[in-house]
Structure 1
Amino acid sequence: MRRAKTSGKPQSSATGRFGHSAAGPAGPPGWLPEWQMVPGTNFVVDKFGRKTQDSIKCKSWFLTHFHSDHYQGLNSRYKAGLVFCTPITARLVQQRLKTPADRIRIVPLNTPLMVEGVRVTFLEANHCPGAAMILFEPPGAVPVLHTGDCRCHTSMQLEPCLQPLRGKLNLILDTTYCQPQYDFPLQQQVLQFVLEAVKAEAFNPGTLFLFGSYTIGKERLFLEVARLLQQKVYVSPTKKAVLDCLGLAPEYASLLTTNDSEARIQAVPLWMVSLKQMARIAKHYKGRFSTIVGFQPTGWTQKSGVQDTERGRASHGRRRQKGTLIVYQVPYSEHSSFRELREFVAWLQPRRIIPSVGNDSGPKARDMVAALRPA
């Protein structure tokens, strides 16, 4: 998600914006968002632009996952320092961005390592494949958990390295959906809704199913549907190359094809799942498919009125139809709902919360933090 810019005004605290002591690491320049430099260290997270590379004296850089708003600045000419990331993210960075292999350090999940004297542990973020939360434990400083982009889940409360740090660390938190109206269902519930919808629509052999996705992300829906129907799913050659980096289980990998004549299920860019775009696709497949059913999997569908008015909570999806074109808006999100954010904060009890999305370094940020703290 797009990150808000900071105001650029330094804080007046004697310990600096990150709580660094005079003897600790120097604070970042005012233009660098505080959620992209780890307090107590000189580490930069998800910020690789030329200005950052030229201005920050940093040897160790961290990439939480392979989404463009996080890796922007990484390319074949990158030489600023070592980039630490998960195996899947590393394969994608090398394949798609051509970043030199000697600039990348692969870090498996749940495998602590020492980086410049700081204990660093990558943890499952429940976001797109390869995404990680990163726990930093600088000597003599407050530990920091940087969530990157994440979908909080109760399983995170079982992480052995987090349990002893409850109430003792600072939290840099993905606040994409930090508003009460974003109370969408669990991923598994939405997935089940989609599977049932597909079964209900699949009676017609002339139905083409479209599933919106990103370069990486939202794969679970179309892979599970393909497995359920035991049918091939078409992906573009570019998407196939990305999926090959994920190490998919054979039961899923065997269902992928780059020949659209073999499949009635297609993974397409999310923007293509709209009545306007689907009408164009219908013309392309005239004579082969008589109906097109598209799925829009994103938490932003909440803004479009996907509500269960009787319970006052999010429904699992909404069906819209125009002639032979059908769109399902489903709140399948790979970011935390507002309820999940509050539950995670209540469990972790961080000393400080630093929002990483929508942070204006002012009233908006303070309101988000206040909303996340249990009353």
Structure 2
Amino acid sequence: MTTRKGKGKASGLKQTDIGVFFGLKPLKDKGKEQEAGNILPGVSLHQGPVLEERKGGKGDHGGHQTVGVHRLQVREGGRKRWNRGRINGEQRESKRCPFYKKIPGTKFAVDAFQYGLVEGITTYFLTHFHSDHYGGLKKSSTFHIYCNRITGNLVKSKLRVAEQFVHILPMNTQVTVDGFKVTLLDANHCPGAAMLLLFLPDGQTVLHTGDFRADPSMEAYHELLSCRVQTLYLDTTYCSPEYTFPTQQEVINLAANTAFRCVTLNPRTLVVCGSYSVGKEKVFLALAEVLGSKVCLSRDKFNTMCCLESERIRQLITTDWKAAQVHVLPMMQLNFKNLQTHLSRFSRQYDQLVAFKPTGWTFSQRVEAVEDIKPTVHGNISIYGIPYSEHSSYLELRRFVQWLRPLKIIPTVNVGSWASRKAMERCFSEWLTEAYEANNVKGI
């Protein structure tokens, strides 16, 4: 087996390096169902047929933790795939689970809760706490969910799923789940977001990125350096050349510098940052630190942040609106009417407001650099739309794939049309060809 050598640690991106959800507008709606009859088996470097199914076997080699699996009581035999009955309170599979959410040769499904109980699946992984991934989970759910601690905290706190069904896996530590070796790696996406590195008994290695933003620090993950990934399930939200946008740090610096300048010129400036239930933490924490202020959150958002188990964050957040110069509001409230109303509530402290809307949806191709981004202004209120994305840009995807050089790539986003699938296939083929030519690798 080919290996990469290096001393990098998978903790290069820590869970407390908080990310956000959302980025630039994708070509198709994220999570759109795959068209019936159109299967994208991935891009393979093998000239022969690609094996979709892999044989199981004994894979516990010792030296790592073992996690027991509580199997769902699903009756075997005679059950049709489209049966809408219920088992143990869960609806049976009501619509077909896409192939890219299941790992061949295992009984694993990834982010597949909206399909009810999936035939042949006993173990359900949740890569992160965003609704398009945990959709289908509710208080009465009896799926046995495997995730890391942050995501588990959010599932139990926000969805009220019973603790007995939430199985916490450590980060950067190989464990055994249902007889298969599994390692969770930081996905650089949002709090608790994880990639799944799976080692199958037949020697195959699978990496499922979930949602992620590829970062050069991942090239130092010793778990990836020490193995050869055959199959890559890839977050292809922005797998098209037009999706080129700034790094997170560039955008954070823009927001921090702008806020600092505004407050320096007028100390009575209130700074507002938009957010989702989970997301935008890096931005508003940076604003608080540069201004030497706390961040005020709604009680619900405050409780969510406490699930992240970060002492640094706990010291920066408050629910006292008058005790903080940085306020976090729901993204949908960031318009002039709502912001004027919000500012008027604190007129004794502030007479100006600058707001940051950190979502790639507002990014314009006409802007060559983040420094060129201008606010929309109405009276004493300014709103900056900043291109802060938690999904990989096209160039970041290319770099990651060319570094990893998997034998097969399976896209997990924008697979709903034949045209988008073929376009992604062409990208993968070009990237891998370039990578192998650059490394003088033969036989592709």
2:116 counterpart letter in structure 1: T
The corresponding residue for 2:26 is none
Alpha carbons 1:208, 1:264 under 8 Å: kept: yes
Query: Partner of 1:63 in structure 2?
Result: 126
Cα distance in 2 for residues equivalent to 1:351 and 1:182: 25
- CA 1:17–1:104 in 2, change beyond 3 Å: closer, same or farther? farther
Specify which of 404, 408, 411 is matched with residue 352 of structure 1.
Answer: 408
Distance in 2 between the 1:265 and 1:173 partners? 36
Instruction: Give the partner amino acid of 1:262.
Output: A
Say if 1:99 and 1:306 are closer, same or farther in 2 by CA, change over 3 A. Answer: farther
* Distance in structure 1 (CA, Å) of the matches to 2:350 and 2:272: 12
Per-residue CA deviations over 1:141-183 (Å, capped at 9, x if unaligned) read 63221111111011111112212444x4211111112222221
Q: Residue 336 in 1 paired to residue 401 in 2?
A: no
- 2:202 matched residue in structure 1: 140
The corresponding residue for 2:334 is 273
Cα distance in 1 for residues equivalent to 2:311 and 2:142: 34
Q: CA deviation at 1:220?
A: 1.1
Q: Which moved more, 1:88-97 or 1:289-298?
A: 289-298
1:40 has 2:100 as partner = no
* Separation (CA, whole Å) in 2 of partners of 1:286 and 1:134: 49
Change (3 A) 1:274 1:187: same
Q: CA deviation at 1:342?
A: 0.7
Residue 316 of structure 1 and its aligned partner are, at CA, apart by 7.1
| 1:298–1:330 Cα contact (<8 Å) kept | yes
CA contact (8 A) 1:119 1:136 kept: yes
Q: Cα gap change, 1:225/1:182 in structure 2, threshold over 3 Å: closer, same or farther? A: same
- 1:297 corresponding residue in structure 2: 358
How far apart, CA to CA, are the structure 2 residues paired with 1:317 and 1:64? 33
* Larger Rg computed on CA atoms: 2
- For the residues of structure 1 that align with 2:403 and 2:157, how far apart are their CA atoms? 38
Q: What pairs with 1:68-87 in structure 2 (closer than 5 Å)?
A: 68-80=131-143, 82-87=144-149
Q: Normalising to structure 1: TM-score of the pair?
A: 0.88
CA contact (8 A) 1:211 1:296 kept: yes
The Cα shift of 1:265 comes to: 0.9
Instruction: Find the residue that maps to 2:327 and give its secondary structure.
Output: strand
1:94 aligns with 2:156: yes
How many percent of aligned residue pairs carry the same amino acid?
36
Residue 287 of structure 1 and its aligned partner are, at CA, apart by 5.0
Going from structure 1 to structure 2, the CA distance change for 1:136 and 1:218 (only over 3 Å counts) comes to: same
Q: CA deviation at 1:305?
A: 4.2
The higher-RCO structure (CA 8 Å, 6+ apart) is 2
Once residues 18 and 272 of structure 1 are traced to their aligned partners in structure 2, the CA distance between those partners, rounded to angstroms, is: 49
> For 1:11 and 1:305, how far apart are their aligned partners in 2?
33
CA deviation vs aligned residue, 1:291-336 (integer Å, no higher than 9, x gap): 111111122232x34611xxxx666743222221111121111111
Instruction: Measure, in 2, the Cα distance between the counterparts of 1:136 and 1:11.
Output: 23
Gaps of 5+ in 2: 1-21, 23-29, 42-47, 58-80, 83-94, 435-444
Q: Offset at 1:283?
A: 4.3
CA contact (8 A) 1:306 1:315 kept: no
Asked if residue 218 in structure 1 is aligned to residue 280 in structure 2, the reply is: yes
1:149 aligned partner: 211
The residue number in structure 1 matching 2:19 is: none
Q: Distance in 1 between matches of 2:372 and 2:219?
A: 26
**Which of 348, 355, 367 is residue 307 of structure 1 equivalent to?**
367
Task: Confirm whether residue 20 of structure 1 aligns to residue 83 of structure 2.
Answer: no
Deviations 1:104-128 (A, max 9, x none): 1111111111112211110000011
- Residue in 1 aligned with 2:257? 196
Equivalent in the alignment of 1:172:
233
Aligned CA distance change for structure 1 residues 130 and 9 (closer, same or farther; 3 Å): same
Structure 1 runs of 4+ with >6 Å offset: 15-18
Taking a change above 3 Å as real, the CA distance of residues 359 and 17 of structure 1, as seen in their structure-2 partners, is: farther
* Partner SS state of residue 268, structure 1: strand
Could you tell me how far 1:10 is from its partner in structure 2? 6.6
Aligned residues of 2:360 and 2:388 also touching (Cα < 8 A): yes
TM-align CA RMSD: 2.7
SS in structure 2 of the partner of residue 135 of structure 1:
strand
- Look up the SS of the partner of 1:358 in the other structure: coil
Aligned position for 2:64: none
Deviations 1:51-97 (A, max 9, x none): 432x42322110000111111122221113x2110110111111111
Aligned residues: 362
* Counterparts in 2 of 1:114 and 1:24: CA distance versus 1, 3 Å: closer
1:186 partner letter? T
Deviations along 1:203-246, one digit per CA (max 9) or x if unpaired, are 31221111111111110111122122211211000011011111
TM-score by length of 2: 0.75
Per-residue displacement from partner, 1:250-283 (whole Å, max 9, x unpaired)? 4x32221111122221111122223343234344
> SS at the partner of 2:328?
strand
What is the aligned partner in structure 1 of residue 35 from structure 2?
7
Distance 2:372 2:179 in 1: 46
1:227 and 2:289 aligned: yes
Call closer, same or farther: CA 1:291–1:105 in 2, change over 3 Å: same
